[in-house]
Amino acid sequence: MKKLTLMFGVAGALLLTAACSSPAPSNNTAANANAANRNAATPAANTAASPAASPAANANNANSAAQSGAAQDFTLVNETGVEIDKVFISPHDADDWEEDILGKDTLPTGQSVEIKFSRSETAADWDLRIEDKEGNAIEWTNLNLLKISKLTLRYDQATKKATAQVE
Report pLDDT for 68: 56
d(CA 87, CA 75): 13
Give phi and psi for 107, each to the nearest 5: -120, 95
Most confident listed range (15-29, 55-69, 145-159): 145-159
Domains of the chain (ranges; CATH) run 11-166 (2.60.40.2890)
> Would residue 40 be called left, alpha or beta, if left means φ above 0 and alpha means ψ between -120 and 50 degrees?
alpha
Residue 77 CA to residue 20 CA, distance in Å, equals 7
For residue 10, what pLDDT is reported?
Answer: 30
State the average pLDDT over residues 101-120. 95
pTM: 0.61
Name the band, by pLDDT with cuts 50, 70 and 90, for residue 57. Answer: very low
3 state SS of 2? coil
Query: Is it the case that residue 36 has pLDDT exceeding 80?
Result: no
Pairing state between β 150-156 and 74-79: parallel
Mapping DSSP onto H, E and C, the string for 115-141 reads ECCCCCCCCCEEEEEEECCCCCEEEEE
Rounded CA-CA distance 129/52 in Å is 27
| Beta strand residue intervals within the chain, DSSP E | 26-29, 31-32, 74-79, 86-91, 112-115, 125-131, 137-144, 150-156, 161-166
Q: Please state the rounded mean pLDDT for residues 11-40.
A: 36
